[in-house]
Amino acid sequence: MKKILETERLILRELNIQDAEFMFQLLNSPGWIKYIGNRNIKSIKDAEDYIAKGPLVSYAANGFGLYAIELKESKISIGVCGLLKRDYLEFVDIGFALLTDYEAKGYAYEAAHACINYSKEKLNISSFAAITLPTNNRSIQLLLRLGFLFNKNFIFESTNEELQLYLQSL
């Protein structure tokens, strides 16, 4: 477990294969399915493969990726937050998701704000993108609070869904 950063209430750390059960829950949570999409994670083995082919590859290739969000006191994993390099975006994309029981408690803002600051200071990343469904009002409000500005609507070709692009730069 490689700790990336720490906030008042949270630890952000690299995901590993031992997080498969937690990721199985998160990837199948109602919010993930509704706003991010069904990743067809039907077993713990599928979740292990998701971690191995996604975050672990990203850490090696990019030096960043999605990180587990843990409550500092209990060490319970409550969500993910981090950076994604997407071929169709000019800038790295910040992403975040929480288990339902931990939403609306300020954890997503705390994690995303710390992740952005870490990325600026340690990774020399100065511009960020974020994508969301136009109906995901909570994520939109969080992005605006983090200083992102709406850029444009676009159609994501592989799903034919309309998404919104938000940008933040120094």
Summarize the confidence of residues 139-149 as an average pLDDT. 96
Quick one: pLDDT at residue 170? 60
Summarize the confidence of residues 12-33 as an average pLDDT. 96
Q: Sign of the C-alpha dihedral, residues 57, 169, 7, 112?
A: negative
Q: How many CA atoms lie within 13 A of 151 on its CB side?
A: 19
Band of pLDDT at residue 1, cut at 50, 70 and 90: confident
Task: Express each pLDDT in 35-94 by its tens digit.
Answer: 898 888 999 999 999 999 999 999 999 999 999 999 999 999 999 999 999 988 999 999
Identify the three-state secondary structure at position 101.
Answer: helix
- Considering the domain 3-124, what is its CATH architecture? 3-Layer(aba) Sandwich (3.40)
pLDDT, greater one: 160 or 64: 64
Band of pLDDT at residue 157, cut at 50, 70 and 90: confident
In this structure, the number of other CB atoms found within 10 A of the CB of residue 112 comes to 25
First-to-last C-alpha distance (Å) of the chain:
31
Summarize the confidence of residues 125-148 as an average pLDDT. 96
Quick one: pLDDT at residue 56? 97
Band of pLDDT at residue 100, cut at 50, 70 and 90: very high
Quick one: pLDDT at residue 12? 98
Summarize the confidence of residues 12-38 as an average pLDDT. 94
Average per-residue pLDDT for the chain? 94
